[in-house]
Amino acid sequence: MTDTRHALIIANDRYDDQGLKKLKAPAQDAAALADVLHDPQIGDFEVEVVRNEPAHVMSRRIQTFFNDRRRDDTLVLHFSCHGLKSESGELYFAARDTDPRLLDATAVPAQFVRRCMARTRARSTVLFLDCCYGGAFSRGSSSVRAAGDVNVLESFTGEKPAGGRGWAVITASNSMEYAFEGPELAENCAPRPSVFTHAVVQGLETGEADLDADGEVSLDDLYDYVFDHVREQNPNQTPSRTVEMQGDLHLAHSRRGRIKIVKVPSPPSLTAAVHSDNAFTRQGAVVELRARLHDESVDIAEGARQDLEEVARNDIRQIADQACRALREIRPTPSPDHLDFGLLPQGSTPQQQSVTLSGPPLARHCLAQSTQSWLRVEPSENGVNVRVETHAEGHLSGDIVLKGVADDAVVHVEAVVAPAREPEPEVREPVAPEPVPPESHVPAPERPEPHVPAPERPEPHVPAPERPESHVPEPGVTEPVVPEPPAQPPPRTEPDTVLVRPAPSPTPPAVPPRIIEEPAARRTPRRRAAATAATGSLRAPALATAALALAVTAVVMVVITAQLAVEAVDGRLDSPGTELRHHAQAAGVIAPLATALLTAAAALVPAALARHELSARPGRCTPAAKSATETLISVTKGLAIPALVLATLAAVAYLVTRGF
């Protein structure tokens, strides 16, 4: 949007007068509406919020808001407060210090707002009134109730705007919801939270208010959407509007807009064949429409698509299935449909990856929209280019939605951002000054006699580099010169939406660049940080694997020890006169028993280190590596602990029975 857009949101939910009940909705309404109007991808307004201010401050901010505007400006003013009707039927907007018996002095008259709207030079002005309307005190009695409708729109009709294209007023309700009785505010019905502003925010934020799916939310689109939404939530509340404006006004972009193409109708003969009574004729028409569906002109292909959709809905099953198969050929087909950027140092700029769209031109004509603020998408000749921003640390997961004329496709994107190490300061070696050659016209001095000492030649003066005034170096200390890091752009908070148009002719995909490994000594600190992070991601799986190997060894040694112990016992039974320890030594029980004890205990050490690595550095491992590491640790403990217990029992049994 090239014009200048300004919005003023006035929200009052606290009042000094005890007769004015506190409202629950204005605070939340103001914050939500300000966010959606300020979003560059939706409203792109410069938003100002005035909350719980006295009447004179409200009046000053309103008049300032409408003054000094240009003809191309678009203005939006939103009230979320009490609306009060005087005895004579005039409308006022309640401020924090409003006294219902002194409306002229303590409230903002609707006529004042109307005069400001009429005098502004802005091209278009939209006024939203989300107010609870009530009758004010009568001058003659403190208990007289002002009944009937407030007739809010009458305060803004009857006079055409003097400048610009005009204005529009949309009010949440035109009926009495509250009335004064004595010093208190009596309710005609139970208080309800505001559904009007919520509908405005939801329609703009989700794009559902774009009823004609043209990618823009017009004033008519928004009113129709809000009217239906409010009536559905509360049948007793009817939004109203008055418009004094030439042309249509686009209030916001639609995030969920779908591609719309002006179709070229099929030839009359083909249209007649589609509606023929002969099934074979209609079947031949589907074949012809399928050929037109692949036309280089997307307008011609769009006309064929709409005709095929009609056939798929209304024709017999055989012909409808044939039309459905033809329509599936124009669905967006991204390749690849999953992008993994791997491990990235925080703050780095990774190389972008490409997604190619295949199929006929109508299939490649789509809208690419990112679902995350860190995910960037740009159109290319054959599809889209994708890159990620690495400002946030942790595991990043998002999608790129490709919205086509027939269906949607999704490209899933993942990346792991690890903290980057600070670059080491570079120390510049002092440069020796170049010798100054003697002038040709100055004769060289004669060499003095040996017994006379030569005068000391002063060292050439090398000016020190300039430093900021705030920095005072210590005497005699040479400090390294640290280059300032380049300024990085601030992170963006809104997702990308781009229109992908098919290339006029297919071109082969670009050949990926050849990667040349640099020596370790020439790698930059950022690359060294990335290499260190990648090495750290393999440390936990390696420790878990080593622990499992030791645990398996311990189990094998326990089994061997048991077999040799059985042989020693059998030998003792065959030779009653000898001690059991001699048979155990002869069978070789001691060596596998000691090995089983050592390997079982040693297996638990790398398992504990692997567990500590996972908990201390959760971002270093991918989810798959983390899951595999935890499985290895569990298996290791299941093998090592029983092996350690059995080996310990065997050692104790040997020590107890060796004298037998």
DSSP state of 523: -
Tens of pLDDT along 405-419? 878 889 999 999 888
Helix (H, G, I), strand (E, B) or coil at 529: helix
In what helix (H) or strand (E) does residue 587 lie, and over which residues does it extend? helix 580-587
Burial class (CB in 10 A: 0-12, 13-18, 19+), 475: exposed
Return the exposure string of 219-233: e unless at least 16 CB atoms fall within 10 Å of the residue's CB, then b.
bebbbebbbebbeee
Q: How many CB atoms lie within 10 A of CB 567?
A: 15
Burial class (CB in 10 A: 0-12, 13-18, 19+), 153: middle
CA angle 150, 153, 159 (to 5 degrees): 135
Q: How far apart are CA 24 and CA 194, in angstroms?
A: 8
Q: Which pairing describes strands 74-85 and 91-94: parallel, antiparallel, or unpaired?
A: antiparallel
Contact 200, 33 (CB under 8 A): yes
Tell me the residue length of the chain: 660
Q: How far apart are CA 615 and CA 239, in angstroms?
A: 56
DSSP state of 153: G
- Mean pLDDT highest for which of 40-44, 348-352, 411-415, 502-506? 411-415
Report the largest interatomic distance among the alpha carbons of the chain, rounded to a whole angstrom: 130
Contact 589, 581 (CB under 8 A): no
* Confidence category of residue 160, pLDDT binned at 50, 70, 90: low
Tens of pLDDT along 239-291? 888 888 777 788 888 766 556 677 889 999 999 999 999 999 999 999 999 99
* Confidence category of residue 60, pLDDT binned at 50, 70, 90: very high
Q: How far apart are CA 386 and CA 377, in angstroms?
A: 5
* Confidence category of residue 161, pLDDT binned at 50, 70, 90: low
Determine the average pLDDT of the residues in 37-66: 92
DSSP state of 155: G
Q: Tokens in use for 344?
A: 């990235």
Predicted confidence at residue 188, as pLDDT, reads: 43
Burial class (CB in 10 A: 0-12, 13-18, 19+), 152: buried
Contact 359, 330 (CB under 8 A): yes
Contact 427, 481 (CB under 8 A): yes
Helices (H), 617-660: 623-657
Q: How many CB atoms lie within 10 A of CB 594?
A: 14
Helices (H), 128-267: 196-206, 219-233
DSSP state of 618: T
Q: Which pairing describes strands 366-370 and 333-335: parallel, antiparallel, or unpaired?
A: unpaired
Predicted confidence at residue 242, as pLDDT, reads: 83
φ/ψ of 369, rounded to 5, equals: -135, 130
Predicted confidence at residue 471, as pLDDT, reads: 47
Contact 347, 466 (CB under 8 A): no
Helix (H, G, I), strand (E, B) or coil at 204: helix
Tens of pLDDT along 521-559? 444 554 554 444 545 567 788 888 888 899 899 899 989
| Percent of the chain residues topping a pLDDT of 70 | 70
Q: How far apart are CA 639 and CA 548, in angstroms?
A: 8
Torsion sign, CA atoms 469, 470, 473, 475: positive
More confident residue, 300 or 590: 300
Contacts (Cβ under 8 Å, ≥6 apart) of 72: 3, 4, 123
CA atoms within 13 A on the CB side of 535: 6
Average pLDDT over the chain reads 76
Tens of pLDDT along 381-414? 888 899 888 888 889 898 988 888 878 889 999 9
φ/ψ of 407, rounded to 5, equals: -160, 175
- The answer to pTM > 0.75 is no
Q: How far apart are CA 280 and CA 319, in angstroms?
A: 9
Which residues are bridge partners to 460 per DSSP? none
Q: How far apart are CA 289 and CA 272, in angstroms?
A: 12
Res 453 pLDDT > 60: no
Nearest to 659 by CA among 586, 587, 572, 574: 572
* Confidence category of residue 511, pLDDT binned at 50, 70, 90: very low
DSSP state of 538: T
Q: How far apart are CA 167 and CA 14, in angstroms?
A: 29
Predicted confidence at residue 608, as pLDDT, reads: 87
Determine the average pLDDT of the residues in 412-427: 76
More confident residue, 389 or 483: 389
Q: How far apart are CA 529 and CA 184, in angstroms?
A: 68
In what helix (H) or strand (E) does residue 186 lie, and over which residues does it extend? strand 184-187
Type of residue at 328: R
Q: How far apart are CA 558 and CA 598, in angstroms?
A: 11
Q: Tokens in use for 232?
A: 């559905």
Determine the average pLDDT of the residues in 143-167: 55
Which residues are bridge partners to 500 per DSSP? 366
Predicted confidence at residue 325, as pLDDT, reads: 92
Predicted confidence at residue 183, as pLDDT, reads: 39
Out of 78-92, 175-189, 272-286, 494-508, least confident range = 175-189
* Confidence category of residue 437, pLDDT binned at 50, 70, 90: low
Q: How many CB atoms lie within 10 A of CB 312?
A: 18
Predicted confidence at residue 10, as pLDDT, reads: 93
What is the four-CA torsion angle of 37, 40, 46, 49, rounded to 10 degrees?
40
Q: How far apart are CA 640 and CA 547, in angstroms?
A: 9
CA angle 497, 501, 504 (to 5 degrees): 160
Distance separating the N- and C-terminal Cα atoms of the chain: 98
DSSP state of 448: P
Peptide bond into 336 cis (omega under 30): yes
Determine the average pLDDT of the residues in 3-9: 88
Q: How far apart are CA 590 and CA 577, in angstroms?
A: 22
* Confidence category of residue 476, pLDDT binned at 50, 70, 90: very low
Res 569 pLDDT > 50: yes
Res 180 pLDDT > 80: no
